[in-house]
């Protein structure tokens, strides 16, 4: 007989067929004055409640508002204040520190080794969304910038006694580099860290579109201990019609060839990332990805927000939960675990009170920094979907340390946990699991990032459904033919339930020690 699940987070009520939409709270009080957790007020849903008008007119950081003499960092501060008052004008970082919010060190460093890509995917957040900063970036990171990045990372690891730092080679398309050059950034960081913080382990992953994977590149990456994550829209040509090169030619055949090569190197295979597309059948998409034998599949919600809603977004409907739950049911009830699905496993872990390292769910403090090809230090580049310069900090490797980044309002806000959330989110019973949703999904122009996720209703339904499945899996089996006699030892878990083996775990286990088993949640 299996024991009941014991968790630091009570399991919520089972599926609610009509998730309640969040009110359109314009809760902008700084975290140190956030109201106590109470039931959310009954106000109109987001699409109908009053809210500040989004900014209009010229960007205050360009054109007549700025010239060659205006410092770029000051111009960026003006832009942040206009488009995202929360957190840039309403978060007092010094007051938050005085109230007890300690900064958390950076643990993942995304190195933008290339700023250009061989594909021209029509939905790419780097090239096709609000931020067009890539145009001003050098095409490749220079050896001098790599050396400076390695020095800064080693300095940070030593200052905070980090047991591990995770590197992600990103772009653009990082595999535009020659095979002999691919490992140079990782080698430089490992050498610098070994000298400054010898107890710190360095892991490395490259996130690629897969079209340039060759035997030579895979051999070079494997020799350097760099695992490979591939971004794909599904395992069939029909799923990838928007992944084309600059001449409009489909990229799927090359990506599929690269994935088949990668599958022959399981020690190097980190997994596949796939953005949810409502136009594609969820089961067909999932099954088609399994044909490439991925050890892990990351299902990502499209980068969208209240000012730029996702396709199919309508109040009272949950199309993304419907899509994901179709996959969940197939995955959960499969007789053999054919792959790991990051989103589902993270929800299960959070329901059980276990630590996770994701920024897309839960309340784990953000711990990622991005280094652009010119050496500028930015926040997670998923923010590029919000507005021009949303990821910018005004900092650079030559002038700033990563400790200074920790006090930047944009990053500090993403380390405040509950205190960074809208009142509706703080009062919600799912907050420890949902965490308010992915930070970019909370954005509304002229307000900033203190709203419930634009996917709030989808997340409610998804989490409740998975919680109900976990509860059923943890229940002692009822009387049935062939049931073990009283006093018998625990029976094996039912097929398909190995991911939720009953455990008792501390709710505050250190997230820093969670294994880096998944590809990073950044799309190529």
Q: For residue range 84-107, list pLDDT tens digits in order.
A: 999 999 999 999 999 999 999 999
Mean per-residue pLDDT over the chain, rounded: 82
Instruction: Look up residue 161 and give its two tokens.
Output: 């006694």
Q: What is the mean pLDDT of residues 377-387?
A: 93
Per-residue pLDDT at 72? 73
Per-residue pLDDT at 76? 85
In the predicted model, is pLDDT for residue 504 greater than 50? Answer: no
Cβ neighbourhood burial of 18 (10 Å; 0-12, 13-18, 19+): exposed
Helices 319-332/456-474 angle, 10° precision: 20
pLDDT digits (tens, 9 = 90+) for 287-322: 999 999 999 999 999 999 999 999 999 998 999 999
Per-residue pLDDT at 404? 98
pLDDT bin (cut points 50, 70, 90) of residue 40 is: very low
Among 396, 450, 390, 411, residue whose Cα is nearest residue 79: 390
pLDDT bin (cut points 50, 70, 90) of residue 109 is: very high
Q: What secondary structure does DSSP assign to 404-421, as a single string?
A: HHTTSHHHHHTTSGGGGS
Say what the pTM is. Answer: 0.82
* Helix, strand or coil, per DSSP, at residue 231: strand
Per-residue pLDDT at 1? 34
Per-residue pLDDT at 156? 98
Q: How far, CA to CA in Å, does 205 sit from each of 96, 182, 353?
A: 34, 11, 27
pLDDT digits (tens, 9 = 90+) for 181-222: 999 999 999 999 999 999 999 999 999 999 999 999 999 999
Per-residue pLDDT at 61? 52
* Helix, strand or coil, per DSSP, at residue 197: coil
Per-residue pLDDT at 359? 86
Percent of the chain with pLDDT over 90: 66
Range in 170-179, 420-429, 490-499 with the lowest mean pLDDT: 490-499
Among 108, 73, 103, residue whose Cα is nearest residue 357: 108
For the chain, the 3-state helix, strand and coil shares in percent, each to the nearest 5, are: 35, 10, 55
Per-residue pLDDT at 335? 86
pLDDT digits (tens, 9 = 90+) for 459-503: 999 999 999 999 999 888 765 444 433 333 333 233 332 333 322
CA–CA separation, 468 vs 466, rounded Å?
Answer: 5
Among 159, 77, 106, 53, residue whose Cα is nearest residue 444: 53
Per-residue pLDDT at 57? 58
Instruction: Look up residue 270 and give its two tokens.
Output: 């980190």
Instruction: Look up residue 92 and give its two tokens.
Output: 């007092």
Residue 257: its H or E element: helix 252-263
pLDDT digits (tens, 9 = 90+) for 426-440: 999 999 999 999 999
Q: How far, CA to CA in Å, does 366 sit from each of 356, 359, 371, 411, 416?
A: 11, 6, 16, 7, 9
* Terminal C-alpha separation, the chain: 45
List Cβ<8 Å contacts ≥24 apart for 508-512.
508/8, 509/354, 509/355, 510/355, 511/355, 511/356, 511/357, 511/364, 512/107, 512/162, 512/163, 512/164
Q: Which of the 8 DSSP states describes residue 292?
A: T
Per-residue pLDDT at 370? 97
Range in 132-136, 226-230, 306-310 with the lowest mean pLDDT: 132-136
pLDDT bin (cut points 50, 70, 90) of residue 69 is: very low
State the Cα angle at 211 between 205 and 216, rounded to 5°.
65
Instruction: Look up residue 502 and give its two tokens.
Output: 């009953």
């Amino acid at each position: 007989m299996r024991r009941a699940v014991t968790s630091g987070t009570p399991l919520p009520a089972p599926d609610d067929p009509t998730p309640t939409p969040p009110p359109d709270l314009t809760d902008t009080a700084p975290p140190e004055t956030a109201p106590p957790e109470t039931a959310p007020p009954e106000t109109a849903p987001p699409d109908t409640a009053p809210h500040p008008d989004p900014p209009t007119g010229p960007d205050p950081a360009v054109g007549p508002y700025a010239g060659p003499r205006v410092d770029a960092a000051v111009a960026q501060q003006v832009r942040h204040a206009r488009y995202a008052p929360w957190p840039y004008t309403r978060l007092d970082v010094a007051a938050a520190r005085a109230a007890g919010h300690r900064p958390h060190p950076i643990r993942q460093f995304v190195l933008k080794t290339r700023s250009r890509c061989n594909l021209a995917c029509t939905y790419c957040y780097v090239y096709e969304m609000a931020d067009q900063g890539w145009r001003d970036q050098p095409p490749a990171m220079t050896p001098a910038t790599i050396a400076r990045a390695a020095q800064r990372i080693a300095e940070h690891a030593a200052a905070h006694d980090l047991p591990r730092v995770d590197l992600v080679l990103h772009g653009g398309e990082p595999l535009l580099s020659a095979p002999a050059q691919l490992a140079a950034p990782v080698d430089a960081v490992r050498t610098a860290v070994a000298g400054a913080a010898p107890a710190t382990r360095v892991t490395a992953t490259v996130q690629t579109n897969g079209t340039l994977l060759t035997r030579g590149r895979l051999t070079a990456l494997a020799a350097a201990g760099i695992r490979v994550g591939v971004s794909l829209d599904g395992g069939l040509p029909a799923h990838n019609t928007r992944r084309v090169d600059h001449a409009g030619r489909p990229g799927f055949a090359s990506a599929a060839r690269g994935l088949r090569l990668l599958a022959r190197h399981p020690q190097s295979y980190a997994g596949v990332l796939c953005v949810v597309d409502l136009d594609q059948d969820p089961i067909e998409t999932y099954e088609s990805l399994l044909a490439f034998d991925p050890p892990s599949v990351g299902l990502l919600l499209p980068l969208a927000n209240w000012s730029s809603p996702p396709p199919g977004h309508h109040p009272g409907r949950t199309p993304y939960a419907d899509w994901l739950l179709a996959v969940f049911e197939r995955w959960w009830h499969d007789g053999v675990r054919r792959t790991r699905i990051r989103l589902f496993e993270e929800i299960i872990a959070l329901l059980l009170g276990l630590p996770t390292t994701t920024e897309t769910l839960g309340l784990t403090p953000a711990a990622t920094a991005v280094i652009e090809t010119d050496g500028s230090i930015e926040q997670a580049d998923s923010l590029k979907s919000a507005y021009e310069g949303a990821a910018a900090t005004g900092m650079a490797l030559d002038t700033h340390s990563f400790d200074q980044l920790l006090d930047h309002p944009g990053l500090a806000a993403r380390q405040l946990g509950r205190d960074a959330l809208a009142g509706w989110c703080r009062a919600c019973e799912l907050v420890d699991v949902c965490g308010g949703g992915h930070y970019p999904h909370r954005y509304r122009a002229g307000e900033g990032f203190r709203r419930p996720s634009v996917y709030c209703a989808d997340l409610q339904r998804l989490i409740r459904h998975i919680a109900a499945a976990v509860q059923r899996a943890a229940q002692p089996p009822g009387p049935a033919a062939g049931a073990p006699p009283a006093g018998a030892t625990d029976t094996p878990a039912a097929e398909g339930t190995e991911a939720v083996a009953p455990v008792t775990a501390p709710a505050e286990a250190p997230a820093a020690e969670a294994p880096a088993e998944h590809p990073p949640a950044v799309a190529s």
